[in-house]
Amino acid sequence: MMSYLCKNQKSEIMAELLQKVQDETRQGEAYAPFKDELNVFDKKFYIESYGCQMNFSDSEIVASILHEQGFGATRNFEEADLILLNTCSIREKAEQTVRNRLHAFRKVKDNNPGMLIGVLGCMAERLKAKFLEEEKLVDIVVGPDAYRSLPGLITEAEGGQKSVNVLLSRDETYADISPVRLDSNGVTAFVSIMRGCNNMCTFCVVPFTRGRERSRDAESIVNECQNLFDRGFREVTLLGQNVDSYYFTATTGENVNFADLLEKVALISPLLRIRFSTSHPKDITDDVLHTMAKHHNICKYIHLPVQSGNTRILQLMNRTYTREWYLSKVKRIREIMPDCGLSTDVISGFCTETEDDHQDTLSVMENSRFDMAYMFSYSERPGTLAARRYEDDITEDVKKRRLTEIINLQNAHSRESYKNDIGKTFEVLIEGNSKKSDKDWSGRNSQNKMVVFPKNNMPLKKGDYVQVNITSATSATLLGEMV
């Protein structure tokens, strides 16, 4: 029973159980870090995460905090004592999805009055009053900087109070909390290196929901990555809203920028791959690019959001760079790393966007030839600078038509990019079975492209590196044979 287990014993049990997890995390799916029959915890929690990788990373921090309070995870929300939704406010569709899930959970709670329902993350800060008072959907509301207060909020909610803490912090980084790797494949992991954002892009809610930018202690980041490697993980993704602006001054007086941090993590072992997300075009430096080129185990892949290809629209978005600046940055990346993979974000139909502005976006895509892109039509978010300053004056039909043109162009570029890899040989980190067949392995190459290849009865396992020659390709997957 939990009451007879000290914290160290609980941690050892959790670590042992986590090794048994084989399933990969999927967006919107509940986390379950161990099998129910092995559950030694007094209470059960169920958590779903939506949105960016940072939200999934935050859920692992929350799981660690709950674990220390005697909560274990379950896949079945109907048996949970605590249901949590880690939410995203970046788009209206994401908010509606969360609201629908809350209504479904509320029906389950009607048959289990002791169950608590909580909302975490970006929607928590923005819609706390609606959730608590108007719609009466939740018992607990916790913002991204207040997860340490969860135990107290749970106690309050168990006593019948509506509990809320959405206070933003100027120094919280959760650096001392060891995340519970939820539904991990045991090979790849996220490591948060900073929180918040100072960029104030007019379309974005992040500065208002996640607060000001602050960097985490470099030593704690390196220690976490070392611990992951020692436990068998072979790839870490360093996370931040804008990783290129990472900057930390240690107590020794050492100043660590992002290029320095990349190198420190790369030196842990040549067998540990490093990825990062997300970069801002105005901040990524030659030092970062040269560090990437220098170390084989820093993946040759950059996610570099452009948002629009028109300078006037970029200024309205407060992106602080021009069309020409962006294109020169792409050129510089390919000068230093000709084999670097590149992806982006694109928004169609931002306020006042004309057909000529839209064509500028298409031409930037033609010039940059992204391997992949996240593409959306503009969705006005309440509380953002754009919502206060500009009229959302582009009709939905025009937004959708422009978005379709963007998607069609990107699909053509992706097909071309993957087709060009046929005949090449890549080092692939095995992440698990192919989704379609357990007779095939799947993993990614340095450029972040998924590669599928037959096992051929070779004595390999997850976490191994193999050389794969590419024999064919779709627009999103490379197919090959082990060399």
Reported as a single tens digit per residue, the pLDDT across 348-369 is 999 999 999 999 999 999 999 9
Among 134, 165, 196, the domain-final residue is: 165
Q: Please report the pLDDT score of residue 410 as a whole number.
A: 98
Same domain, 108 and 73: yes
Q: What integer is the mean pLDDT of 316-332?
A: 98
Q: Is the pLDDT of residue 17 over 90?
A: no
Same domain, 242 and 390: yes
Q: Please report the pLDDT score of residue 40 as a whole number.
A: 60
Q: What integer is the mean pLDDT of 29-52?
A: 65
Number of structural domains found in the chain: 3
Q: Is the pLDDT of residue 94 over 80?
A: no
Q: Is the pLDDT of residue 15 over 50?
A: no
Q: Is the pLDDT of residue 19 over 70?
A: no
Same domain, 473 and 333: no
Interior angle at CA 208, CA 204 and CA 213, nearest 5: 95
Same domain, 400 and 340: yes
CATH number of the domain to which 46 belongs: 3.40.50.12160
Separation of CA 143 from chain center? 17
Pairing type for strands 341-348 and 372-377 reads parallel
Instruction: Return the C-alpha torsion angle 331, 335, 341, 347, nearest 10.
Output: -10
> Is 260 inside any structural domain?
yes
* Span of 13-17, 65-69, 330-334, 341-345 with lowest mean pLDDT: 13-17
In the block, tokens 């390709």 appear at 473
Summarize pLDDT for 384-414 with one digit per residue, the tens: 999 999 999 999 999 999 999 999 999 999 9
Summarize pLDDT for 254-299 with one digit per residue, the tens: 999 999 999 999 999 999 999 999 999 999 999 999 999 999 999 9
Same domain, 278 and 404: yes
First to last CA, the chain: 51
Q: Please report the pLDDT score of residue 206 as a whole number.
A: 86
> Is 231 inside any structural domain?
yes
Same domain, 361 and 472: no
> What rounded mean pLDDT belongs to the chain?
88
Same domain, 378 and 478: no
Q: What integer is the mean pLDDT of 87-107?
A: 81
Q: How far apart are CA 278 and CA 101, in angstroms?
A: 28
Q: Please report the pLDDT score of residue 10 as a whole number.
A: 37
Same domain, 77 and 211: no
Same domain, 7 and 137: yes
Say what the pTM is.
Answer: 0.85
> Is 175 inside any structural domain?
no
- For helices 286-294 and 323-336, give the axis angle rounded to 10 degrees: 20
The domain in which residue 304 lies consists of 188-417
CATH number of the domain to which 443 belongs: 2.40.50.140
Same domain, 89 and 112: yes
Same domain, 276 and 391: yes
Share of the chain above pLDDT 70, in %: 90
Among 131, 165, 199, the domain-final residue is: 165
Same domain, 336 and 431: no
> Is 347 inside any structural domain?
yes
Q: Please report the pLDDT score of residue 134 as a whole number.
A: 59
Among 417, 437, 466, the domain-final residue is: 417
Summarize pLDDT for 444-464 with one digit per residue, the tens: 999 999 999 999 999 999 999
> Is 183 inside any structural domain?
no
* Span of 82-96, 284-298, 433-447 with lowest mean pLDDT: 82-96
Q: Please report the pLDDT score of residue 464 as a whole number.
A: 98
